Structure 1
Amino acid sequence: MRTLAEINEKITAGKATVWTVEQLKARVAEVGVPQAAKEVDVITTGTFEPMESSGAIINLGHTDPPIKIRSCWIDGVLAYSGFGAVDLYLGATQPAEAQDGEVSRERGGAHVIEDLIAGKSVHLRAIGQVTDCYPRSSFETTISSKTINQFYLFNPRNLYQNFIVGVNGGDRPLYTYLGPLQPRLQNAVYSNGGAISPLLNDPELQQVGIGTRIFLGGGIGYITWEGTQHFPLQKRLPNQTPIGPAATLALIGDAKQMSPKWVRACYFKNYGPSLMLGVGVAFPVLQEAIVQACAVQDKELVAPVVDFSIPRRVRPTFGLVSYAQLKTGRISIEGKTVRVAPLASLYLSRQVSLELKQWIEAGQFTLTEAVAPIPMDRTFVPQDRWGSQMTLE
């Protein structure tokens, strides 16, 4: 139907027709897939949800005399320093440490990242390994995004293609990465946005790959690799959408361009800090099949209901539930009505999709062709601590 070059020419000229994925779904319901595919050039998707496998690369610049940092705390949060002399990696879920060494779970790396993106100054304390070329033993200062060299998010696992619904069939409250789960199935929490979520509209990852340009935290980012725990071989429905956690992506982007509107720290009670992140993906309409995939509805997507009261890697489930049912706010588990809430902000997910649409319409965001596909043959390898041991002879 179109080439990517043709679509980018239309974007640059301000003539591209861009719809959010919800606008596309509504139009397909009116005129069908073939006609909608003729009318639209680009479809935008978005999500705003916790993505705890995130973090920031920071380069401080060299001190005088130089220091080779081997331990470093930014606003009390330990940053990894085991590579370049003044290179750091600040993990979003790393908790802050008090002066007495106690851990404060309510603040962590995500809060420092948000503060730096917001232009605030933060305290830094470093201990060095003294060598002939790095004679300094310690360093203390305040830094901001303007006083450091590189400051970019490098996130090993974002954009889960699908996820789970968490419940608690036990007799005490549980505090999880989905938030509090009340005992005896008093509540349920789901994470994915369903039919508005980016990768459920591209089930076989045909429209994304290494080098794909994306909306990341209010700035421009890129897909760099498959994400950790990438599991595209998850069981799938006939429409090729997965029935549980499946594909993931690793993302990168310049944090100096980002906005605290789209990068927000959060805290899960008795669990720890995490990072709420806005991510948007645009799909060029190169063929009709792309519109067909993006026409998927919440009633055609499912997630497993998982019981967190069983402390095992593989937990029992109460079957599958559709996203249409989840979004009603009530699901039924073994005859019991259970209230359910999303962990992702559906409102802000829609706003990500809309902002990306506006960027493209204004000619500020063109689309890139992937330099390599995301592998679709990865298996999921667990670590069984009590498994069989190898005998050497």
Structure 2
Amino acid sequence: MSEPKKVKKTIREINDRISKGKAVVLTAREMIDAVKSMGKVKAAREVDVVTTGTFSPMCSSGLLFNIGQPEPPLIKASKVWLNDVPAYGGLAAADAFLGATEPAEDDPLNKVFPGRFKYGGGHVIEDLLRGKKVRLRATGYGTDCYPRKTLEREYTLGDFRSADLLNPRNAYQNYNCAVNFGEKVIYTYMGPLKPRCANANYATSGALSPLFNDPFFRTIGLGTKIFLGGGTGWVIGAGTQHNPKPQRTERGLPLTPSGTLMVKGDLKGMQARYLRGISFLGYGCSLNVGLGIPIPILDEEMAWFTGVSDADIMVPVVDYGHDYPNGVARNHGHVSYAELRSGTIRVNDRDTATVPLTSYTLSLEIAQTLKQWIEKGTFTLGEPQEPIFSE
């Protein structure tokens, strides 16, 4: 008997099926059972797209915006603030970039507890999406063509000439499980960590997470179309700190923080449900970002990758009390994402409560929403124009 013909599809063929309403779309959670029950070859024949999702703190995020020139005389805005949160204004006359983690200069919490912040760039982004007015303040040094030196007025999101969510590093492919072996509480970007390993904080949506479903970036690159903040976004390349050659499991999954994505999208088409400003006690501000990527099932290998389960994913345990501040980030063994989701893991011969920073419920909602968009034919796949390097 001859061997069964291997499955081979193209993104163009899958998009044609989407436009005709014939594409078979599963969420990453549904694909686990599909691969188990059918095997990877049959699953690859039957399924066209697998949708993923994550809703998690993503500190390396921000807003690239243009204030226009609302009233004469014109201004070359060299310093800009939104609700007293400083933005970077060194981008020509009317462009600026607001970082999600930048705190307000007059933050009320910081006045009471120095070094602690309640409101920052991420909250400004959420306020704009909720239709609130934000106070813009800008100063310039004055030139012949831009004589104005100060500008202060209120803006809604629609008042900006353009407003793009531009995130240098999102969707980390694996991340640390943070613990504290020290003798006092420490306040970190992974949240407060109690002494003597009393809690273990982690941030990933596991088998739903986009880059666990395409660990070698076979289908994700420049031009990949994604769900971003409740609207449409795009991958524009590898994110900062992208590590293309991590240590991997036999299944190809990284054992340490590895791949990252740089993404962008029009903020005016997004929703506050999927972009929320947050503040970590004792650390500072950030932004929860909702991000989902459709994975085209081009062959049985992609079916196998998207059949990944929580038990397959191993997360490194890192001591933020001793190792991390010194730049070591040495891991103290690995635990599976299934163990993390159970609520308790075993660290140094003791049971430790686990605390998720990622919302699994909203991550699944993103994957399901993206699935619905594709099934309705309102969302097609973007074909990568340049690959993201991976071993």
- Partners of 1:370 and 1:273 lie apart in 2 by 33
Residue aligned with 1:222, SS? strand
Once the two structures are TM-superposed, the CA of residue 104 in structure 1 deviates from its matched residue by: 6.4
Q: Note the alpha carbon deviations across 1:303-348, whole angstroms, 9 max, x for none.
A: 1100111121113432111111111111111210101121100111
Using the aligned pairs only, state the percent identity: 45
Native 8 Å contact 1:210 1:223 kept in 2: yes
The two structures, once aligned, show a CA RMSD in angstroms of 1.4
Native 8 Å contact 1:95 1:104 kept in 2: no
**Paired residues for 1:242-257 under 5 Å:** 242-257=254-269
**TM-score normalized by structure 2?**
0.94
Residue aligned with 2:219, SS? coil
**1:30 equivalent in alignment to 2:44:** no
**1:321 equivalent in alignment to 2:335:** yes
The residue type equivalent to 1:156 in the other structure is: P
Match of 2:66 in 1: 59
Match of 2:349 in 1: 335
- 1:135 aligned residue (131, 147, 150): 147
Runs of 4+ in 1 over 4 A off after TM superposition: 99-104
Match of 1:110 in 2: 122
Match of 2:86 in 1: 78
- 1:148 aligned residue (160, 164, 174): 160
**1:20 equivalent in alignment to 2:32:** no
Residue aligned with 2:232, SS? strand
**Paired residues for 1:286-305 under 5 Å:** 286-305=298-317
Q: Note the alpha carbon deviations across 1:118-161, whole angstroms, 9 max, x for none.
A: 22111111111211111001010000111111101010000101
Native 8 Å contact 1:145 1:151 kept in 2: yes
**1:216 equivalent in alignment to 2:228:** yes
Residue aligned with 2:291, SS? strand
Native 8 Å contact 2:116 2:281 kept in 1: no
Native 8 Å contact 1:97 1:104 kept in 2: no
- Partners of 1:156 and 1:355 lie apart in 2 by 24
**TM-score normalized by structure 1?**
0.94
- Partners of 1:148 and 1:175 lie apart in 2 by 36
Aligned residues: 377
Match of 1:93 in 2: 101
Match of 1:281 in 2: 293
Match of 2:358 in 1: 344
Native 8 Å contact 1:96 1:104 kept in 2: no
- 1:171 aligned residue (173, 179, 183): 183
- 2:380 aligned residue (362, 366, 370): 366
Native 8 Å contact 1:18 1:361 kept in 2: yes
- Partners of 1:90 and 1:126 lie apart in 2 by 13
- Partners of 2:301 and 2:29 lie apart in 1 by 17
- Partners of 1:38 and 1:168 lie apart in 2 by 47
- Partners of 2:107 and 2:364 lie apart in 1 by 42
Residue aligned with 1:225, SS? strand
**Unpaired segments of 5 or more residues in structure 2?**
1-7
Residue aligned with 2:117, SS? strand
Residue aligned with 2:18, SS? helix
The residue type equivalent to 1:59 in the other structure is: N
